[in-house]
Amino acid sequence: MQLSLGKYLKKTTEAAPLAVFRLFFGIMMFASIVRFWLNGWIEKLYIAPKFFFSYYGFDWVKPLGDFTYLLFILCGITALMVAAGYKYRLAIILFFLSFTYIELMDKTTYLNHYYFISILSFLMIFLPANAYFSIDAWRNPARAFQKIPQWCIDAIKLLLGIVYFYAGLAKINSDWLFRAMPLKIWLPSKYDLPLLGDLMQQEWVHYAFSWSGMLYDLFIPFLLLWKRTRFVAFLMVIVFHVLTRVLFPIGMFPFIMIVSALIFFSPEVHHKILNFISKWFSISKQRFDNLKTHQFTGIKKKVSIGVLSAFFIIQLLFPWRYLLYPGELFWTEEGFRFSWRVMLMEKAGYAQFKVVNAKTGNRFYVNNSDFLTPFQEKQMSFQPDFILQYAHFLADHFEKDGHENIEIYVDSYVALNGRKSTPYIDPEVNLLNFADSFKHKTFILPFEDEIKGL
Amino acid sequence: MIKISKFLLIATLLFAVACSTDDDGDNGGESNGGDNFDRGEMLANWADNIIVPSFVAFQETTQRLEDVSKAFAENPETTELNVLKAQYKAAYQEFQTVEMFQIGKAEELNYRSFLNTYPTKTENIESKIASGNYNLKLPSNFAEQGFPALDYLLYSYGSTEETLEFFTANPEYITYIVAVAERINALTTEVTASWEGDYRDTFVNNTSSSSTGSVDRFTNDYVMYFEKILRSGKIGYPAGAFTGSPSPTNVEALYAGDISKNLYLQALDSFEDFYYGVKINGGENGPSYFQYLKYLEDGTNSESITASIADQFSAIRAQSSALDSNLKSQVETDNSKMLAAFDELQKEVVLLKVDMLQALSISVDYVDSDGD
C-alpha cells in the first residue's frame, strides 16, 4: 500500500489537460463576474441591503460599500490572469480570496455552485496549472514543463466526482423519487417552453426527470472515467446541463460544468484543443513542448500533498455532518449547505416577528421590508440560522430606538415540497435566549411528515 | 494586429454570452395544447372581465366627482355640498375595487400613491391652499391629494352648514377641492384609457413563465397588495400592530369616519372576487387563481390549498362583523378586535404568499438571481 501510493504519486502525465482546464476556468469566471455586474446584482445584493446575513464565525466579512466593486474588479482581473497563466500562483490565490470573500458577505446568496468555485480555486492554488501553455511558462522557460504528476489532474477529477456523486446520493429520498418533488412543482411552470411546454405538464415526465437525474449524478463520474463510455458520457453531460439551463434559472453553472468535464478526456484531445487555439492566435505551441517534467520536491511536496489530502478527507466527510443532528434535514437545514444538495427542495416560508416588552407586555410586529430586501426576507423565512441572526439584529435595532426589556418572538410558517404550510419556529420561544452555534436549534418545531432516505 | 482583433472578437463573444444568459420575458410564446392550464385565457379573463370593467365603472364615478365638485364651485350651496360629499363616498368605495391593480400605467404613474396616501398631511394642505401655489403632479405631494385630502376638506370643518360657511368665507378651499377631484379623474382616465388601449394586449399576451411574465408580476403585486395595503394599511397601522401603540389617526377615511369599515370590506370583497375570477358584469366565473390552484391540486395528494384559503376568507369576514363601522372608534374603544382582524388577515397572507405561490411556482422576490 505504502509502496503503491508512493508509486502513484510519482506517476506523471501530460500537463495539457490542466492547462486547458485553467484556461477555460479563468474565462468562465471572468464571464460570470461580468454577467453578475451587468445584471446589476452587485448593487442589488451587496450595496442596497441594510443588513447582511453572516455565516457563523464570519460576521467580520461584510460588503465594503462602493469598494465592493473593486473587489469584483480584482476578482475579474485575477480570473483573466488565471486564464492566461500570468503570475498564476498570485492570481489564483487572490481569485480564491476575493471570490470567497464575496460569497461570505451574505449567506442569502449561497449557492452550491459558488461554493464549488471557491473550493475548486482553493485546490488550484496547489496545482502547477501554469506549467504549460501559459504566459508564465512562455516568459520563463526554466519553469515551463510539458509533464506534471498524474495526481494534479486526478485531484480535479476527484473533486468533480465528489460533487456529482454526492448530489446523486442526496437525491435518494422519498420526496425526490416517489413524489417527484420538487420537480412536480417546478416543471409545470415552464409551460411556455417551445416543444417541451406541454410535456412538462405530464406526471410521468416529472418522475422520469427525477429518476434519471438521480442516476445521472450517481454514475456520470464513473462513465466519464471509463474510456469506452467517455464520449457518450460527455454527450450526456452536455444534454443534462443544457436542459437544466433551459428549465431553471441557473446562470453560468451548466457551462462551467460542461467545460470542466473535458478534464476527463485524454491528453491527445487537449493537445488538439491547444493546437486549435495556437493556430487561431498564431502562438507557437512547440515552445511549451519541452518534454520536461514538473516535480514536487521537499517541503513543497509535503505541504501540497498534505493540504490536499486533508482537503479531500474533509470534502468526503463534511456532507455527512447532518447525521449528527436530530430531525429532518430538509426541515431544519442543519448540515444542509456545503453538501451538494442541489435542487432538492421547494421551500418557502413566512416569518412575522414580534417585539415584546417583557415588563409591560406591550408588543408590536416587525415590518420585515423595513430591514430586508425581498430576496433576503424570502431566504430568511425558512432557514433557522437566518431567523435567529435576524432576531438578534432586531433586538439591537429596537434597543437603540429606546425600547426596553426586549423579547423577540416569531410566528412562522414553512411549506416544503408541496406540503401545506405548518408552524416552523416555536412561537412561545424568546429567540434572544439563544445564540447561534453549530448545536441543534431546539426552537425548531418538528416536521409533521416523514421523508425517507439519505 | 491580427492577434489583437481576435482577442477583441473573443472578448465580444464572451460579452454577448454574459449578457444574453438572462431570459427576459419572451412575449407570446403560447402553447396551450394538451391538459395545460391556459394562462392566456386567465389573463384575458382578468383584463376583460375584471380589471377593465372595474376601471370603467370607477372612472364614471371619478368623472362625476369632478363634475359635482365643479357644480359646487359654481354654486356653493348646501345641496351641492351634500351631493359632493355623497359622491366622494361613492367614489372612494368604488376605488377599493381597483386599488389592487397597480400594474402597467397605474404602476408607472404611482396611481395608488396619488389617490390614497393616508394619513393626509393636513398642515401641508392648509399651507398650499393659503399660498395658492401648488402642483399636485409632484410625487412629493402624494399626501396632499386624492381621497384622503378630500376626506379632510369635506369632513374636518364640522357640520355641512359649518363647512359651507367656512368655504364661503374661504373660496380658495373650493378651488383646491376641484383641483384634487380633477387630478383623481385625470389619473383614472389615463389608467383606464391605457387598459382600453394597447396595454390590455401587452398584458394578456405576455404569458411568459419568467419573472417578467404577466402572471408572475401581477401575482406578486396582488399578494403584496393584500399584505401591505389591505392588511397593514387598512387594519395594521391604525391598530398599531407595528409600533405597539394604537394610532387611530391612521385609519382610512379618518374624517368621514363611518365609512372606514365599508372601505375595508369592499377591498376584501374585490380581492376575494378576483381570486375566484368573478366577472364584474355577471356571468359564470372565469379562470383565476382558484381555478389555477384546482388544476394543479388534481395532480397532487396534498391537503387542499383552495379549501384553506376559502376557510380563511370566511374567518376574516366572520371576524369583521365584530368591528365598528367606524374603525377609528374601534381602535379607540377596543383595539383588541382590530388586532384580531390583523391576525386573521395575517393567516391569509401565509396561505397566499407561501402555499399559493409555491403551488403556482411563482417566486416572491423581485431580484432575478440564480438558483441552485
Look at residue B88 in the predicted model and tell me its pLDDT.
98
Nearest to A23 by CA among A235, A279, A270, A241: A270
Question: Which residues of chain A are within 8 Å of residue B22 when distances are taken between CB atoms?
Answer: 39
- The terminus-to-terminus CA distance of chain A in angstroms comes to 32
Per the CB < 8 Å rule, is A192 touching B31? yes
Strand ranges (DSSP E) for B195-313? none
Decide if B24 is inside a domain: no
Using CB atoms, pick whichever of B350, B357, B362 lies closest to residue A413. Answer: B350
| Grid cell in block for residue A3 | 509502496
**What is the rounded end-to-end Cα distance, in angstroms, of chain B?**
42
Tens digits of residue pLDDT in B299-352: 554 568 999 999 999 999 999 999 999 999 999 999 999 999 999 999 999 999
Number of domains in chain B: 2
Q: pLDDT band at B197, cuts 50/70/90?
A: very high
B136 and B149 in one domain? yes
Q: Give the position of cell 484543443.
A: A273
Cβ separation A45–B240 shorter than 8 A:
no
Q: Is B232 on the interface with A (CB under 8 A)?
A: yes
Other CB atoms within 10 A of residue A158 CB: 17
Strand, coil or helix: what is A408? strand
Is B99 in contact with B116 (CB distance < 8 Å)? yes
From chain B, the residues in CB contact with A413 under 8 A are 350, 354
Q: What is the largest CA-CA distance in chain B?
A: 89
Asked whether residue B218 falls in the same domain as residue B321, the answer is yes
The span from the CA of B362 to the CA of A348, in Å, is 11
Whether chain A has a CB inside 8 Å of the CB on B278: the answer is no
CB A416 within 8 A of CB A330: yes
pLDDT confidence of residue A2:
60
In the predicted model, is pLDDT for residue B177 greater than 80? yes
* Binding-face residues of A in 136-155 toward B, CB within 8 A: none
Which residues of chain A does B371 touch, with a Cβ-Cβ cutoff of 8 Å?
111, 248-250, 343
Gap between the Cα atoms of A298 and A278, Å rounded: 35
Crossing angle of the two packed helices A298-317 and A112-125, in degrees rounded to 10: 160
The pLDDT value recorded for residue B299 is 54
Q: Is residue B209 within 8 angstroms of chain A, CB to CB?
A: yes
User: Residue A281: what residue type?
Assistant: F
pLDDT higher than threshold 90 for residue B15: no
Touching check for A186 and chain B: CB below 8 Å?
yes
CB contact at 8 A, B13 and A34? no
Residues B133 and B218 in one domain: no
What is the DSSP annotation of A78-136?
Answer: HHHHHHHTSSHHHHHHHHHHHHHHHHHH-GGG--HHHHHHHHHHHHHHTS-TTSSSSHH
pLDDT (mean) for B179-195: 98
Q: Is B17 on the interface with A (CB under 8 A)?
A: yes
B53 and B122 in a single domain? The answer is: yes
Q: Across the interface, which of A32, A250, A365 has its CB nearest the CB of B242?
A: A365
Residue B31 has pLDDT above 50, yes or no: no
So what's the pLDDT on residue B1?
A: 45
Looking at the fold, whether B70 and B83 belong to one and the same domain comes out as yes
Chosen from A192, A242, A281, A337 to mutate, greatest number of chain B CBs within 10 A? A192
Same domain assignment for residues B112 and B230 = no
From the list A282, A343, A374, the residue facing B3 with the nearest CB is A282
3-state secondary structure of A365: strand
Q: Identify the domain boundary among B207, B235, B261.
A: B207
Measured between CA atoms, how close is B357 to chain A, in angstroms? 9
Which residues between 335 and 354 in chain A have a beta carbon less than 8 angstroms from any beta carbon of chain B? 342-343, 346, 348-350, 352
Would B15 be classed as within a structural domain?
A: no
| Interface list for B 59-118 with A (CB within 8 A) | none
Identify the CA nearest to A28 among candidates A144, A146, A116.
A116
Residue with the three cell numbers 406578486: B220
CB-nearest to A27 from B14, B364, B366 is B14
Q: CA distances (Å), A376 to each of A250, A381, A408, B366, in order?
A: 18, 8, 19, 11
Do B192 and B301 lie in a common domain?
Answer: no
What are residue A265's phi and psi, to 5 degrees?
A: -75, 160
Residue of A365, A394, A401, A424 to mutate when probing chain B, most B C-beta within 10 A: A365
For residue A454, give the nearest of A344, A314, A338, A311 by alpha carbon: A344
Q: Which of B34, B358, B370 sits opposite A201 (nearest CB)?
A: B34
Residue of B nearest to A342 (CA): B372
pLDDT at B85: 97
> Which chain A residues are Cβ-neighbours of B363 within 8 angstroms?
378
Minimum distance, in Å, between the CA of residue A238 and any CA atom of chain B: 17
How far apart CA B269 and CA A400 sit, in angstroms, is 41
What is the C-alpha to C-alpha distance for residues A169 and B331, in angstroms, rounded to an integer? 56
The C-alpha atoms of residue A211 and residue A224 are separated, in whole angstroms, by: 20
Phi and psi of A349, rounded to 5°?
-150, 175
> What predicted TM-score, i.e. pTM, was given to this entire model?
0.89
Q: What is the pLDDT of residue A454?
A: 84
* A405: alpha, beta or left? (left if phi > 0; alpha if psi -120 to 50): left
* Look-up of cell digits 511549451: A288
Query: What does the pLDDT read at residue B368?
Result: 59
Per-residue model confidence as pLDDT tens digits over A46-93:
999 999 999 999 999 999 999 999 999 999 999 999 999 999 999 999
Interface check A39 vs B, CB under 8 A:
yes
Task: List, in sequence order, every residue forming a beta bridge with A347; answer none if it has no partner.
Answer: A416
Task: Quote the pLDDT of residue B363.
Answer: 78
Q: Do A191 and B39 touch (CB under 8 A)?
A: yes
DSSP A416: E
Spacing of C-alpha B274 from chain mean position? 12
Q: Which domain holds residue B271?
A: 208-365
pLDDT of residue B32: 35
Distance (Å) from the alpha carbon of B347 to chain A's nearest alpha carbon: 10
- Rounded to whole angstroms, the Cα distance separating A397 from A368 reads 13
CB contact under 8 A, A367 and B34: no
Q: A355, B244: Cβ pair inside 8 Å?
A: yes
Residues in chain A, pLDDT under 50 = none
CB atoms within 10 A of CB B64: 16
Same domain? B194 vs B260: no
- B355: DSSP letter: I
Q: Is A364 on the interface with B (CB under 8 A)?
A: yes
Partner-chain contact A31 B18, CB within 8 Å: yes
Give bridge partners of residue A350 from the DSSP assignment.
A413
Q: Nearest-CA residue of chain B relative to A370?
A: B242
| Domain identity same for B254 and B191 | no
Domain identity same for B252 and B339: yes
Q: Position B68: which residue type?
A: V
Burial B259-297 (b: 16+ CB within 10 A, else e): bbbbbbbbbbebbbbbbebbbbeeeeebbbbbbbbebbb
* Order of strands across the sheet that contains A363-365: A363-365, A347-357, A406-416, A422-423
DSSP characters for B70-109?
A: HHHHHS-SHHHHHHHHHHHHHHHHHHTTTTT---THHHHH
Q: Is residue B362 within 8 Å of residue B219, measured between CB atoms?
A: yes
Q: Please name the residues in contact with A365: beta carbons below 8 A apart, sequence gap of 6 or more.
A: A352, A353, A354, A355, B236, B241, B242
| Amino acid A121: pLDDT | 98
Contact A365 B300 (CB under 8 A): no
- Determine what percent of chain B falls in helix, strand and coil, rounding each to the nearest 5: 70, 0, 30
- With CB atoms and an 8 Å threshold, state whether A198 touches B34: yes
Q: Where are the domains of chain A?
A: 346-433
Q: pLDDT tens digit string along B337-368? A: 999 999 999 999 999 999 999 999 887 765 55
- The single-letter DSSP state of residue A199 is G
Q: Which of A32, A48, A52, A39 is nearest to A114 (CA)?
A: A32
Any idea what the CATH number is for the domain that residue B200 is in?
1.20.1420.20
Is B10 inside a domain boundary? no
Tell me which residue of A144, A45, A170 sits closest to A103, measured CA to CA: A45
The size of the A-B interface in CB pairs under 8 A is 159
For residue A299, the surrounding DSSP H or E stretch is helix A298-317
B359 touches chain A (CB under 8 A): yes
CA atoms within 13 A on the CB side of A154: 14
* Chain B residue numbers touching A364 (CB-CB < 8 A): 240-245
Which positions in chain B touch A362 (Cβ < 8 Å)?
244-245
Q: Is A357 touching B (CB cutoff 8 A)?
A: yes
CA distance B196 to B189: 10
| Nearest CB neighbour to B208, from listed A27, A192, A365 | A192
Instruction: Classify the C-alpha dihedral B295-B296-B300-B305 as positive or negative.
Output: negative
Question: Residue A109: helix, strand or coil by DSSP?
Answer: helix
CB contact under 8 A, B358 and A111: no
Q: Is B298 on the interface with A (CB under 8 A)?
A: no
CB contact under 8 A, A38 and B19: yes
On whether both B73 and B159 belong to a single domain, the answer is: yes
Nearest to B371 among A190, A250, A367 (CB): A250
DSSP three-state, residue A294: coil
Question: Scanning the structure block, which residue is given the C-alpha cell 436542459?
Answer: A243
Contact between B371 and A282 using a beta-carbon 8 Å cutoff? no
Upstream peptide bond of A427 is cis (omega within 30 degrees of 0): no
Please state, in angstroms and rounded to a whole number, the distance separating the CA atoms of residues B261 and A100. 54
The residue of chain A nearest to residue B2, with distances taken between CA atoms, is A281
Nearest by CB to residue A191, choosing from B15, B23, B36, is B36
Residues B45 and B77 in one domain: yes
CA distance A292 to chain B (A): 28
